[in-house]
Amino acid sequence: MKQNRRINILYSAVQGTYWMSYCVSVTFAVVFLLAHGSSNTEAGIVLSAGCLLGALLGVLLGALIDRHPACTVQRLFPFLTAGQVVTLALLLVMQPQGIVLGIIYSLYMSFFIAVGALDLKLYGDLSSGGDVNYGLARGMGSLAYVVASVSLGIIVKHFSANILLYAGLEICILEAVIHWIIFLHMPAASAKTVTERGTTLVRFLKGNGRYCLLLLGAVLLFVPHSLQASFLINIVRAVGGNEADMGLVDGFTAAVEIPVMLLYAVLARRLKHSRLLRISVVMLTFKILAMATAKSIGGLYAASLLQMPSYALYIVAVVPYAAMVTDPRDFAKAQSLINAMPTVGAVITGLMGGRLLDMLPVSQVLYIAAAISAVGSILALLGTGKAPDRAEQENT
């Protein structure tokens, strides 16, 4: 019991630092890039490059872990941390512009995003040695995100966007310390070497057709979600707000996620993971529609309430669902793939979102995003159909 409590606290801290880093590197990326002379289109390209590299790196690391058990989270994590520190230091020292800025910032994002895949594998390792409450940990991640978003919005407004680089370095170092502590407290069961190797990535995709539908649906669902996250400053300015309003709206959106995440274990005792997942993929489309119709900062706050039955539910439900409908030997692959899909959605958003925002009013761009989301909802529903699967059998 004491060991489980310690592991849950430490893994909650892991999620907390990860989502604080997300706030710095992704949510405030456009603010930083615009402040250094980039256009919306250029910022979108940088976001796309960083997200694509991060998604590929995360999936490759997941496949590597499954195929080569000697490659563990403990051995791979330091390389990603070093990559973040080096790129942030280069941004601080060089103060680059143009293409050099884009290349370095894309690399910074890619190292950070790949950490998410390793953290999901870490969750699987810790779960093998005890009961890890993912909903609780993810809820703490959202709480940390709220603090970071609100604080950074106010600080950037009164100082400059360069403060984001210092914040990124501090959070990265804190993240490394917490991971080092949790590695020291890894349960004995999770430290055992797994001798059974998972399938190759291609064979995994061929053998999990329904899961692939869910993956494709998730990509399209996260195009509008990424638009909201990455270009929130444009959405806020369109209704008369500023950077401080952006931080408050973003913080409020993350805050309303927390109750759902903390109470997910209770919800999962009443409804199957697949049912909760199906609810969330529909509500993701309704959320972006509500944001498209918002005419004021108050309207954005109202639309943000739909974060509870949409994103908050999805992000917690999809982890156990993915684990239960795929072979345990392919755990890292399955998790890294589902973790990469929002990032792939962000790539699409970066390629088209910035250009659309340079050409069209924000509300029209959001309606286009809602149409894409609707297609994603349909595909995700088909990918989480009612046919019996391990997720449903285990949850009954």
What secondary structure letter does DSSP report for 271? S
Please give the pLDDT value at position 194: 47
CB count within 10 Å of CB 372 equals 22
How many structural domains does the chain have?
A: 1
pLDDT tens, position by position, 136-167: 888 898 889 888 888 888 888 788 888 999 99
Output the pTM of the full model. 0.76
Asked if pLDDT for residue 248 goes beyond 90, the answer is no
Check residue 214 and give its pLDDT.
92
Query: What six digits make up the tokens of 164?
Result: 């984001």
Segment 377-386, tens digit of pLDDT: 999 999 886 5
Torsion of CA 94, 97, 100, 106, to 10 degrees: 100
Tell me which residue of 236, 349, 348, 234 sits closest to 303, measured CA to CA. Answer: 236
Residues in the chain: 396
- Specify the pLDDT at position 262: 86
* Structural domain range at position 137: 2-395
Report the CATH number that the domain containing residue 128 is assigned in CATH. Answer: 1.20.1250.20
Distance from C-alpha of 26 to C-alpha of 30, rounded to nearest angstrom: 8
The tens digit of pLDDT for each residue in 302-347 reads 999 999 999 999 988 988 888 888 887 787 788 888 888 887 887 8
Task: Kindly give, in sequence order, each residue whose CB lies less than 8 Å from that of residue 270, ignoring residues fewer than 6 positions away.
Answer: none
Which of 18-22, 30-34, 287-291, 327-331 has the least mean pLDDT? 327-331
CA 307 – CA 256 distance, rounded (Å): 7
As a whole number of angstroms, the distance between CA 209 and CA 212 comes to 5
CA-CA distance, 78 to 167, in Å (whole number)? 19
